[in-house]
Structure 1
Amino acid sequence: DKHIEGWKKVTDAVHKAGGYMYIQLMHAGRMSHPDNTPHHRQPVAPSAIAPGVEMFTAKGMQDIPVPRELSEEDIQTTIADFRKAAAAAIKAGADGVEIHGANGYLINQFIGENSNTRTDEYGGSIENRTRFAIEVTKAIVEEIGAERTGFRISPGTPLGGIQDGEQGPELYRYLVKELAKLDLAYLHVMHLGNEKLLQDIRSIWTNPLLVNRAGRALEDLSVDIDRGLADLVPVGVWSLANPDLVERLQKGAPLNEADPTTFFGLGSKGYTDYPTMEELESQEG
């Protein structure tokens, strides 16, 4: 309830400024470390397989331990947790939620061939490896409505040690088709270069499509929109470092450089202290 009260202040401010806000729902799964939790618990995942990467902690970078495999009962509890989180986001004033099914986190771990070796209905076939993602989405749609629900995927992205396997493109075509049946608000693709797959996703997905190209140059910002492959282009890091990003883009003004050393900080530094053009001009004056 305290989190809802805190986020209400944020959503109220966003709405007052004429904006909209979707809150991303993310379960880290095995991408966690006991030192990053107040209860020092072992991470959980589809299978008891460590990602083979390090995790940022207060003590510095540490190897991520082997996670505990979720039981089928745990899976149902986690689906209910996603539903509860979606309801809380709407109660906090958000316009909707984005289900994080990408970047090596829990939903992506169920999808990954090397992170999910289950032999029950949540592992093995394409239908089974996508089952958790689809069931989470259906629960959230039932709770808050499809028009308030987005979904993020990252085909072929090796973050968190995830490998899609040879069936990867086929799996994502199947997943997108199933999600399309739910008539979601949007699909958000972190795109790493499989152009044929992106074209297929565009043909399958008729609702708004967000395409985030990793390593995209600023001058290429509108390429996917111009080609008809995307309806919107996410600008995460640029908008973090430039609170007046829209105005800067309109004027062709230089952008502040984001400081990656502050991305996992605990204070305002690197989050709310980047200057606007107006502030920079007043400083120079």
Structure 2
Amino acid sequence: MTTIWDPVRVGRMTLKHRLAMSPLTRSRALADGTPGPLAAEYYAQRASLGLLITEGTQPSEDGQGFPNSPGIHTEAHVAGWRKVAEAVHAKGGHLFIQLMHAGRTSHPANTPHGRQAVAPSAIAPNVELYTPSGMLPVPVPRALTQVELLATVSDFRRAAAMAVEAGADGVEIHGANGYLIQQFLAPNANTRMDNYGGSIPNRIRFAMEVAAAVSAEIGADRTAIRLSPGSRLGGIDEGEHYGDVYRHLVGELAKLDLAYLHLAHGGDESLLKDIRAIWRGILLVNRINRPIDAVGKDIEAGLADMAPIGRWALANPDAVDRLRAGEPMNEADQGTFYGGGAEGYTDYPRLTTSNVAARVA
């Protein structure tokens, strides 16, 4: 039986175990999108997780959704991420930068350029978003033209090249959680009448074009993608037949031989089994609100190859050691998730010999 402690080959990487760090928005970048001064320390602290998937990182100015989220589309961004990659590699870890275009899940107040958000169609998500002025309704976005869609694919391609230039081991394309790529998949966000809307092959077209462009630029073995079938984040409603969309999409993605597929799994067990059968490569499965003692169950059952962890990684720079030793985890402080400095970012305590001795006594 395979467990989380068995080694695994992922793309060009050989990992000592099957844990990974999930992407976690922290909103601590500088105003221009350069990773903040503590980012290298934060990620390096968690290098023992082996594969670190960074927070969502915009591939262009129009891709930004949240205040102080990082980018990877300027030379300053490359220099900032290079410090992170070097720090992670020095600790024996690997770094995939997640490329996230927020699409309509944005607000002009959250971006330096203050422009209207872009999306498949001019449909507001009917949700609120955090801004420097507090929670505000997300405005109606502007529909991308076909020329702009091609330019957006090029933005992803260029961002991937810049990520590798910065020293990252690869990139994860964010096709989940209600952001731009998933907006194309959902009928309530995509009402286009051209070859990017309507039928399933049309609705998956943008996702496939991005994945193909990125893998052609940096290599399929350095390219991954994240999906969240059935997720309703960001006002998304994929309809009752969303499983058909994902079966088709995963089948087409499988032809690209990417480094891995990362599923944010919402509980559709039948679809997970189908995807496992379709996707013969490395599969990461992140179950929503999974308890820490169940983190390896999908691997043991043959439903996944790796188990990414989110909040547990955020609050425990030594999560691997704690899991191996059966020691309790720090609880994450939700009040310090987004923005701020070291508090709740780089100051979570590690296990010490005295910690363990005190519990045994």
In 1, Cα distance between equivalents of 2:118 and 2:336: 27
In 2, Cα distance between equivalents of 1:8 and 1:280: 36
Q: Give the structure 1 partner of residue 343 of structure 2.
A: 269
Q: Is 1:12 matched with 2:12?
A: no
Q: Which amino acid aligns with 1:152?
A: R
In 1, Cα distance between equivalents of 2:271 and 2:191: 25
Question: Kindly tell me: are residues 28 and 279 of structure 1, through their superposed partners in 2, closer, same or farther at Cα, counting changes over 3 Å?
Answer: farther
In 1, Cα distance between equivalents of 2:344 and 2:118: 30
Q: Give the structure 2 partner of residue 122 of structure 1.
A: 196
Q: Give the structure 1 partner of residue 64 of structure 2.
A: none
Give a deviation string over 1:79-108, Cα, whole Å, max 9, x none: 000001000100000000000000000001
In 1, Cα distance between equivalents of 2:156 and 2:208: 12
Q: Which amino acid aligns with 1:228?
A: G
Q: Is 1:106 matched with 2:106?
A: no
Q: Give the structure 2 partner of residue 137 of structure 1.
A: 211
**Equivalent residues, number:** 283
Deviation at 1:266, TM superposition (A): 3.7
Give the one of 130, 135, 139 matched to 1:65. Answer: 139
Percent same amino acid at aligned positions?
60
Give the one of 257, 270, 281 matched to 2:331. Answer: 257
Q: Is 1:32 matched with 2:109?
A: no
Q: Which amino acid aligns with 2:100?
A: M
SS in 2 for 1:152: strand
Q: Is 1:233 matched with 2:310?
A: no
SS in 1 for 2:308: coil
Q: Structure 2: 5+ residue runs without aligned partners?
A: 1-74
In 2, Cα distance between equivalents of 1:279 and 1:53: 47
Q: Is 1:196 matched with 2:281?
A: no
In 2, Cα distance between equivalents of 1:266 and 1:76: 36
SS in 2 for 1:21: strand
TM-score (normalised: structure 1): 0.97
Q: Give the structure 2 partner of residue 158 of structure 1.
A: 232
Q: Structure 1: 5+ residue runs without aligned partners?
A: none
Q: Which amino acid aligns with 1:60?
A: G
TM-score (normalised: structure 2): 0.77
Q: Which amino acid aligns with 2:220?
A: A
In 2, Cα distance between equivalents of 1:108 and 1:243: 31
Deviation at 1:267, TM superposition (A): 2.5
Which is further off, 116-125 or 272-281? Answer: 272-281
In 1, Cα distance between equivalents of 2:185 and 2:354: 46
In 2, Cα distance between equivalents of 1:188 and 1:55: 25
Deviation at 1:220, TM superposition (A): 1.2
Deviation at 1:166, TM superposition (A): 2.6
Structure (1/2) with the larger helix percentage? 1
Give the one of 80, 92, 95 matched to 2:154. Answer: 80
Q: Give the structure 2 partner of residue 243 of structure 1.
A: 317
In 2, Cα distance between equivalents of 1:194 and 1:35: 36
Deviation at 1:263, TM superposition (A): 1.8
Q: Which amino acid aligns with 1:128?
A: N
Deviation at 1:264, TM superposition (A): 1.8
SS in 2 for 1:277: coil
Q: Give the structure 1 partner of residue 128 of structure 2.
A: 54
Q: Is 1:214 matched with 2:288?
A: yes
Deviation at 1:278, TM superposition (A): 2.7
Give a deviation string over 1:236-278, Cα, whole Å, max 9, x none: 2111110011001111111111112222214232221211113
Which is further off, 146-155 or 34-43? Answer: 34-43
Q: Give the structure 1 partner of residue 24 of structure 2.
A: none
Question: Which aligned segments of 4 or more residues in structure 1 are displaced greater than 3 angstroms?
Answer: 279-282
